[in-house]
Chain A
Amino acid sequence: MGLISGMLMGMIFGISLMAGWRHMMRYRSTKRIAKAADIKVLGSLNRDDLKKICGDNYPEWISFPVYEQVKWLNKQLSKLWPSVAEAASAVIKESVEPLLEEYRPPGITSLKFSKLTLGTVAPKIEGIRVQSLKKGQITMDIDFRWGGDPSIILGVEAALVASIPIQLKDLQVFTVIRVIFQLAEEIPCISAVVVALLSEPKPRIDYTLKAVGGSLTAIPGISDMIDDTVNTIVTDMLQWPHRIVVPIGGIPADTSELELKPEGKLTVTVVKANDLKNMEMIGKSDPYVVVHIRPLFKVKTKVIDNNLNPVWNQTFELIAEDRETQAITVEVFDEDIGQDKRLGIAKFRLIELEPETPKEVNLSLLSSLDTLKVKDKKDRGSCTLKLLYHQFSKEEQLIALEEEKTILEERKRLKEAGVIGSTMDALDGAASLVGSGVGMVGTGIGAGVGLVGSGVGAGVGIVGSGLGAVGSGLSKAGRFMGRTITGGHSSKRSGTSTPVNSIQENGGAKPL
Chain B
Amino acid sequence: MGFLSTVLGFCGFGVGISAGLVIGYSFFIYFQPSDVKDPKIRPLVDQDSETLQKMLPEIPLWVKNPDYDRVDWINKFLEYLWPYLDKAICTTAKNIAKPIIDEQIPKYKIDAVEFETLTLGSLPPTFQGMKVYVTDEKELIMEPLIKWAGNPNVTVAVKAFGLKATVQVVDLQVFALPRITLKPLVPSFPCFASIFVSLMEKPHVDFGLKLIGADLMSIPGLYRFVQELIKDQVANMYLWPKTLQVQILDPAKAFKRPVGMLHVRVVRAMKLRKKDLLGASDPYVKLKLTEDKLSSMKTTVKHKNLNPEWNEEFDIFVKDPQTQALELRVFDWEQIGKHEKMGMNVIPLKELTPEEPKVMTLELLKNMDLNDTQNEKSRGQLVVELTYKPFKEDEIPKSFEESKTVQKAPENTPDGGGVLAVIVHEAQDVEGKHHTNPYVRVLFRGEEKKTKHVKKNRDPRWEEEFLFMIDEPPINEKLHVEVLSNSSRIGLLHSKESLGYIDINLSDVVNNKRINEKYHLIDSKNGRIQIELQWRTK
Does the CB pair A18–B126 fall under 8 Å? no
20 contacts across the A-B interface (CB closer than 8 A) = A2-B8, A7-B12, A11-B23, A28-B208, A32-B208, A33-B39, A33-B151, A35-B173, A36-B171, A36-B173, A37-B42, A42-B55, A42-B59, A42-B126, A54-B63, A68-B70, A69-B69, A76-B142, A91-B189, A130-B74
| Partner among A48, A84, A184, A187 whose Cβ is within 8 Å of the Cβ of B92 | A187
Closest to B37 in A: A33
Does the CB pair B223–A28 fall under 8 Å? yes
Does the CB pair A22–B29 fall under 8 Å? yes
Closest Cβ–Cβ distance, residue B391 to chain A (whole Å):
25
Query: Is B24 at the interface (CB under 8 A from chain A)?
Result: yes
Does the CB pair A2–B6 fall under 8 Å? yes
Contact pattern, B 495-527, Cβ under 8 Å of A = 1, otherwise 0: 000000000000000000000000000000000
Ordered nearest first, which 8 A-B pairs have the shortest CB separation?
A14-B20, A10-B16, A6-B12, A18-B24, A2-B5, A2-B9, A86-B187, A7-B16
Contact pattern, B 352-369, Cβ under 8 Å of A = 1, otherwise 0: 000000000000000000
A120–B75 Cα distance when bound, in Å, is: 32
| Partner among A17, A79, A120, A132 whose Cβ is within 8 Å of the Cβ of B21 | A17
Closest Cβ–Cβ distance, residue B530 to chain A (whole Å):
12
| Partner among B9, B11, B91 whose Cβ is within 8 Å of the Cβ of A186 | B91
Most interface-central of A27, A54, A189 (chain B CB within 10 A): A189
Query: Is B400 at the interface (CB under 8 A from chain A)?
Result: no
Does the CB pair B55–A9 fall under 8 Å? no
Closest to A68 in B: B73
Chain A residues whose CB sits within 8 angstroms of the CB of B56 once the complex forms = 53
Query: Is B19 at the interface (CB under 8 A from chain A)?
Result: yes
Closest Cβ–Cβ distance, residue B198 to chain A (whole Å):
18
Chain A residues whose CB sits within 8 angstroms of the CB of B92 once the complex forms = 187
Contact pattern, B 1-31, Cβ under 8 Å of A = 1, otherwise 0: 0001111111111111111111111011100
Does the CB pair B45–A49 fall under 8 Å? yes
Query: Is A62 at the interface (CB under 8 A from chain B)?
Result: yes
Closest to A46 in B: B44
A39–B457 Cα distance when bound, in Å, is: 48
Report B's interface with A, CB cutoff 8 A: 4-25, 27-29, 32, 39-45, 52, 54-56, 58-60, 62-64, 66, 69-77, 80-81, 84-85, 87-89, 91-92, 123, 126, 128, 130-132, 134, 140, 142, 147, 149-151, 170-171, 173, 185-192, 206-208, 214-215, 217-220, 223, 457, 459-461
| Partner among B16, B173, B461 whose Cβ is within 8 Å of the Cβ of A32 | B173
Query: Is A327 at the interface (CB under 8 A from chain B)?
Result: no
Chain B residues whose CB sits within 8 angstroms of the CB of A10 once the complex forms = 12-20
Does the CB pair B73–A129 fall under 8 Å? yes
Does the CB pair A53–B73 fall under 8 Å? no
A442–B401 Cα distance when bound, in Å, is: 61
Closest to B25 in A: A18
| Partner among B12, B21, B39, B185 whose Cβ is within 8 Å of the Cβ of A5 | B12
Most interface-central of A7, A88, A129 (chain B CB within 10 A): A7
Chain A residues whose CB sits within 8 angstroms of the CB of B81 once the complex forms = 138, 181, 183, 189
Given contacts A19-B28, A35-B58, A185-B87, contact A40 B16 (CB under 8 A): no
A50–B64 Cα distance when bound, in Å, is: 11
A397–B110 Cα distance when bound, in Å, is: 58
Does the CB pair A483–B11 fall under 8 Å? no
| Interface set, chain A 125-143, CB cutoff 8 A to B | 128-132, 138, 140
Does the CB pair B11–A128 fall under 8 Å? no
Does the CB pair B20–A12 fall under 8 Å? yes
Does the CB pair B149–A39 fall under 8 Å? yes
A82–B170 Cα distance when bound, in Å, is: 47
Chain B residues whose CB sits within 8 angstroms of the CB of A3 once the complex forms = 5, 8-9, 11-12
Closest Cβ–Cβ distance, residue B509 to chain A (whole Å):
24
Given contacts A28-B208, A28-B218, contact A68 B72 (CB under 8 A): yes
Query: Is A428 at the interface (CB under 8 A from chain B)?
Result: no
Known: A43-B75, A52-B44, A70-B73. 18 other contacts (CB 8 A): A5-B9, A11-B16, A15-B20, A21-B214, A29-B208, A36-B150, A37-B42, A38-B149, A39-B147, A41-B42, A53-B44, A53-B55, A68-B73, A75-B134, A87-B188, A120-B459, A186-B88, A483-B190
Chain A residues whose CB sits within 8 angstroms of the CB of B40 once the complex forms = 37
Chain B residues whose CB sits within 8 angstroms of the CB of A24 once the complex forms = 215, 218-220
Closest to B217 in A: A28
Closest Cβ–Cβ distance, residue A283 to chain B (whole Å):
53
Chain A residues whose CB sits within 8 angstroms of the CB of B75 once the complex forms = 43-44
Closest Cβ–Cβ distance, residue A21 to chain B (whole Å):
7
Chain A residues whose CB sits within 8 angstroms of the CB of B147 once the complex forms = 39
Does the CB pair A25–B218 fall under 8 Å? yes
| Partner among A8, A15, A59, A484 whose Cβ is within 8 Å of the Cβ of B63 | A59
Query: Is A357 at the interface (CB under 8 A from chain B)?
Result: no
Does the CB pair B461–A27 fall under 8 Å? no
A180–B77 Cα distance when bound, in Å, is: 11
Contact pattern, A 45-70, Cβ under 8 Å of B = 1, otherwise 0: 10011101110000101100000111
Chain A residues whose CB sits within 8 angstroms of the CB of B87 once the complex forms = 185
Closest Cβ–Cβ distance, residue A116 to chain B (whole Å):
14
Does the CB pair A189–B88 fall under 8 Å? yes
Closest Cβ–Cβ distance, residue A351 to chain B (whole Å):
28
Does the CB pair B214–A189 fall under 8 Å? no
Closest to B130 in A: A72
Chain A residues whose CB sits within 8 angstroms of the CB of B134 once the complex forms = 75, 79
Closest Cβ–Cβ distance, residue B131 to chain A (whole Å):
7
Closest Cβ–Cβ distance, residue B154 to chain A (whole Å):
15
Closest to A483 in B: B189
Most interface-central of B18, B24, B188 (chain A CB within 10 A): B24
| Interface set, chain A 218-246, CB cutoff 8 A to B | none
Does the CB pair A130–B76 fall under 8 Å? yes
Does the CB pair A120–B461 fall under 8 Å? yes
Closest Cβ–Cβ distance, residue B41 to chain A (whole Å):
5
